[in-house]
Amino acid sequence: MPVPQRVAVLIGNARFPSDPTHLSALRCPLNDVNGLAKLLASKKRGKYVVTKVLDARHDAARRAIYDSLKKARSGDLVLIYYSGHGKLDQEGRLHLATFDTVTDSLPPTSIPLEDVRKYIDESSASTKVVILDCCFSGAVKKLFKGEIQDQASRAIQGLEGVGTFFLTASTDTQLAEEKEGDTFSLLTKYIIEAIRGDTADTHRDGIVSFDELCSFVQEKVGTEGKQKPRKFCLDASGDIPIAFTGRPLASKRYGELMKALYRVASEHKAHHALRDLMDNLKPSTDPSEDVQSSAKELFEHLYKHKRDSKILLSEMYRIACEAKSPDLREQRHSFSTFASDHLQLEEEEPSNPSTHYNLAIAFREMGLVDEAIAELQKVSRDIDNGRQFEDLMQVYSLLAICFVKKGAPEAAIPWYKRALNVAGLQPESRLALQYELASCYEQLKDKSAAVQLFTQVYSEDINYRDVEERLRTLRKGDG
């Protein structure tokens, strides 16, 4: 059986001599392609078979896209990347400019996105990824009408994604940016940063997934300019590994940590816990994985709290939870027993909201919703009592999500409302919270409240998730 392939076609166009009046030369596209190619071709970071297409004519670039999709088999992943000028025709359809593009003759001298859509439809590849770092790239959504949905509305079930995934540098009315002094275009700069580092890997599993990549670049790009990267999908489910951090899987890294924790617990030597964690992290065969450096940072972080046994135990437990071991459901009580019997914890010890929050995240990932709610409620009480915590919105919205998970939308509503009242809320977060709050009211058959909130979302973004359809369905009952 053929081994699934990862194929990347990277197209960069910086010069447009056929129409210099309307298509100015660009500084970054060739750097973008070369920078990405180095990472994606790496056996550690990308594992792609990479084809670079630089300052090519439209027929050569289009042929490269066609060939990669045509030759792909079921199980393969094909990534198409473009950096250059994006131009809209009179119908608002997006065309990718090439070396010989003339703006007055876009269809025969450029790469129409409609052609790319056709090649995608005809391809046997299981997964297709399209990344467009160009102006007006958000216009891609016009190709798909009702078929396409915002990725924010998908519940990720695991890294087994299939379908077509899009990441665009901007909306359908925005220009993409090249920052003065930067080597790379704005979007590509942060794609490279996401792959080169490990900050984007929020699950700490050694994989930069499509959703993690999109979340990372959306946050980073938003801090530098007016661009709003967008993500879309077509007939897609799940999530996909775009790249790898080069670090070992979290389950492998933390497996040794867990063994150390349990040994510490059994020996009742809490004050030696940190030393044991260090002793049980064996040197990596690949120094670049930097396991020992990670262990040193962990040691230094926990050492500061060595006198606060509650914090120490909670932090140790959070680390163990990250291994997502199936044994944790049964073994987790050994931690609390160890704590009460040997650490002599006292209730008057000051509460630490960060510790409770980390425990809540671990519980939620393990499917222990009640335990997650209890920890998040402790964070909320700490905040009410004046303790500092950075992301109030995240705490309140996670509480709401957990109650919805339990089938209690009525309990989720107050927390969504508190999240909406957090100062400095970003417009995208406000829309998401209003949408979820409206969904709760809809579940409770409170049509008036649901329609009011869905209408607020609709008035801000007519294409937000399925808000138009939700409103239509709710209003049918009034007819």
In order along the chain (479 residues), what is the average pLDDT of each group of 10 residues? 88 94 91 95 92 96 97 95 90 91 94 93 93 70 38 31 77 50 86 86 81 89 78 75 74 48 44 45 38 42 44 48 40 41 39 76 73 90 87 92 93 96 89 94 94 94 88 79
Residue 252 confidence (pLDDT) = 52
* Residue 237's CATH number: 3.40.50.1460
User: Would 391 be classed as within a structural domain?
Assistant: no
User: Would 148 be classed as within a structural domain?
Assistant: yes
Residue 353 confidence (pLDDT) = 84
User: Would 327 be classed as within a structural domain?
Assistant: no
CA distances (Å), 126 to each of 6, 7, 48, 75, in order? 11, 12, 15, 5
User: Would 352 be classed as within a structural domain?
Assistant: no
Q: Per residue in 152-210, pLDDT tens?
A: 233 223 334 567 888 988 644 444 555 566 788 889 999 999 998 778 887 767 789 99
DSSP labels, 74-93: TT-EEEEEEES-EEE-TT--
What is the domain extent for residue 18?
6-244
Q: Give SS3 for 35.
A: helix
Domains of the chain: total: 1
Q: Give SS3 for 105.
A: helix
Angle between helices 353-365 and 392-405 (to 10 degrees): 30
Q: Give SS3 for 291.
A: helix
User: Would 382 be classed as within a structural domain?
Assistant: no
User: Would 335 be classed as within a structural domain?
Assistant: no
Per the CB < 8 A criterion, the answer to whether 121 and 72 are in contact is no
Distance (Å, rounded) from C-alpha 415 to C-alpha 117? 42
Residue 196 confidence (pLDDT) = 87
Q: Give SS3 for 136.
A: coil
The torsion of the CA quartet 229, 232, 237, 242, rounded to 10 degrees, works out to -40
- Give the global pTM: 0.54
Residue 103 confidence (pLDDT) = 93
Residue 465 confidence (pLDDT) = 82
Contacts of 267 (CB under 8 A, 6+ apart): none
Residue 425 confidence (pLDDT) = 87
User: Would 267 be classed as within a structural domain?
Assistant: no
Residue 202 confidence (pLDDT) = 79
